[in-house]
Amino acid sequence: MAMNPSVFNFYDTETTGLSAATDQILQFCSVRTDADLNYIKGAELNILVKPRPDVVPGPMAFAITGISIEELNQKGMSEFEAAGHIRNWFLDRDNSMMSGFNSLSFDDEVVRNTMYRALQDPYEHEWKNKNSRSDIMRAVMLVFALRPHLMNFHKTDEGKYSLKLGDLCKENGIVLENAHEARADIIATIELARVIKHSSPQLWNYFLQLSGKNFVKPMVDKMEPLVLVDRYLSRDQGHLTIAQPVIYDAKSTQKMLSVDLREDPSELLSLSVDELKRRIFTPSADLKEGESIKSIRDITLNKQPLITELSIFRGHDAVVSRAGLDIDACMRHGEMVRNDKGFRERLQEAYKAEYDPCEDVYQGIYSLGLISDTEKNLRMRTRALEPAVEGQERLPVLASIDLREFSKKLPSDPLRMTELSLRAKWANFGEQVIERDLFSSQELGEWVDHLDRTWNGPVIGKNQINLEGYRASLADVRAKMALDERQEKALIEMEAHVEGTLTMIEQLRELIEMKKRAESELTAEAAPEPAKVVEAEPAEDLSPAL
């Protein structure tokens, strides 16, 4: 099926930090265009999100964006509510393509995790109603690698090319005002997409086709050498190589393992399963010189892989020369890989590495398995609104139910649903829950334990920070950055937010004890009075006289 989206939903997120799993969206903005990248009047979404108490904010993020926490608390909505608006926006138009700048690597993951925490389906917005995904940064890389004459690229003082959004805009006559403000970044991204589309409609259309698995998979399944553009390859060589598809990852039918054919694969083909596993998964710093394996490349079918056939080089010798590719040698290396029939199985087995289970449910969007239909239905039920009560804000069912009893409705392991529901309840509706007394001391105790681990426990995920890391980062930002008035104000408000959150946690500890006493008193009042012990009167002897 050809990828011809009816509309594009260009979007950007501003977040508390760099962890898709444990940070959160603070601002979500999206601008809709038609298929020709013309703006659709009035088709925009721009929402602010209140910070959750179980997120340690990253000082660098606030220094860069200058986002005001006071404004977020005054004008923002809960993450739970924001997730619903974001989902509805992406599903509002059939055959729409969501796109951003570096969105496949970051923003898409942030949105997935937002849906996961807010008890939504994490993936539905990406594929339902013929929806699809793309990433304009990948379009830029495709141009840079294969047709660099179509755009202007900035060269740094060190002689390195830059693919940053701001530099690309400057070199191509695009005005970028208020960089790192979500809407401004979106407009710049759309203008950049227009430059590519107008410079080469053919390349633009090919870029769109790469979003479709049905387009990409047949190319990969031929098991023949392909041109691969990969962000982890040398920029000086155009991020470009020729790769030999080998075998699908046993854990994911979306990921084809391939070999970079620049290098002679003789040593790679000689390695046992154990040696492959050791060299692939051991950090390079812990290996001897020359042991690190850098020639294995992932081709992930559902993340718009930048692949094409070798015919793309025809008539473009300068591209091949810049990339430093010896095509004949690459073809010989590919034949060596294909002829070693046992290598496919050895490589696949090596990738069956044993991973420790995730230490926290927020890290488990992938590792805890797919969400069953039963769990999806339970998630939907938690989001339904309670009946209206005069004078009270309507809350979702989530805020008032006994979460442990509710989660027992899952036929399989209910722990993910229980923990996510508890956190969603308190992170989004904590004030209302306390005000209406919709909790137990046990439930509040579990929430406070989670907060304590978040702020004071060890860091367990990539790019996550705790209170100690926050303080170190804040000191580093203040020492190294020249802050303007807006940035300084953002940091001051962030510091006040952190201190306020720490104070709130201590107040919640006190509330737990108060709640325990109240529960004990209720238990005592409800207990039946002990039966009175009455001395029995001697029974009258009714036996007949003899």
In this predicted model, what pLDDT tens digit does every residue of 91-149 receive, in sequence order? 999 999 999 999 999 999 999 999 999 999 999 999 999 999 999 999 999 999 999 99
Running DSSP on this structure, what letter comes out for residue 544? P
Residue from 363, 381, 383 nearest 80 by CA: 383
User: Are 90 and 83 contacting, i.e. CB atoms less than 8 angstroms apart?
Assistant: no
User: Are 166 and 175 contacting, i.e. CB atoms less than 8 angstroms apart?
Assistant: no
- Average pLDDT over the chain reads 92
pLDDT tier, 541 (very low <50, low <70, confident <90, very high otherwise): very low
pLDDT at 59: 98
In this predicted model, what pLDDT tens digit does every residue of 11-35 receive, in sequence order? 999 999 999 999 999 999 999 999 9
Q: What dihedral do alpha carbons 167, 171, 175, 180 form, nearest 10°?
A: -10
Distance CA 193, CA 234 (A): 24
Distance CA 272, CA 261 (A): 20
What's the order of all strands across the beta sheet hosting 240-248? 296-300, 255-260, 240-248, 226-229, 306-308
Per-position b or e across 448-460, b if 16+ CB within 10 A of its CB: bebbeebbeeeee
Question: What is the chain's percent helix, strand, coil content, to nearest 5?
Answer: 50, 15, 35
Pick from 15-19, 283-287, 374-378, 542-546: least confident: 542-546
pLDDT at 392: 85
pLDDT at 461: 86
Looking from the CA of 89 toward its CB, the CA atoms found within 13 Å total 22
Sign of CA dihedral 276, 277, 281, 287: negative
Share of the chain above pLDDT 90, in %: 79
Residue type at position 55:
V
User: Hey, what are 288's tokens?
Assistant: 């001897």
- Helices 182-199 and 201-209, axial angle in degrees (round to 10): 120
In this predicted model, what pLDDT tens digit does every residue of 291-309 receive, in sequence order? 999 999 999 999 999 999 9
Looking at 1-90, list the stretches that DSSP marks H as alpha helix, in order from N- to C-terminal side.
Answer: 59-65, 69-75, 79-90
In this predicted model, what pLDDT tens digit does every residue of 355-378 receive, in sequence order? 667 889 999 999 888 888 888 888
In this predicted model, what pLDDT tens digit does every residue of 40-58 receive, in sequence order? 999 999 999 999 999 999 9
* 529 has pLDDT over 80: no
pLDDT tier, 415 (very low <50, low <70, confident <90, very high otherwise): confident
**β-strands 306-308, 255-260 pairing:** unpaired
User: Are 423 and 54 contacting, i.e. CB atoms less than 8 angstroms apart?
Assistant: yes
pLDDT at 284: 87
pTM of the model: 0.92
pLDDT at 530: 60
* 544 has pLDDT over 60: no
* 189 has pLDDT over 80: yes
Sign of CA dihedral 61, 64, 65, 67: positive
Distance CA 197, CA 192 (A): 9
Residue from 151, 135, 138, 149 nearest 195 by CA: 151
pLDDT tier, 546 (very low <50, low <70, confident <90, very high otherwise): very low
* 246 has pLDDT over 60: yes
* 416 has pLDDT over 90: no
Q: 240 vs 536, which has greater pLDDT?
A: 240
* 539 has pLDDT over 90: no
Contacts of 507-515 with CB under 8 Å at 24 or more apart are 508/444, 508/447, 508/448, 508/451, 509/448, 511/434, 511/444, 512/441, 512/444, 512/445, 512/448, 515/439, 515/440, 515/441, 515/444
pLDDT at 543: 38
* 162 has pLDDT over 60: yes
pLDDT at 19: 97
CB neighbours (10 Å) of residue 385? 11
User: Are 37 and 47 contacting, i.e. CB atoms less than 8 angstroms apart?
Assistant: no
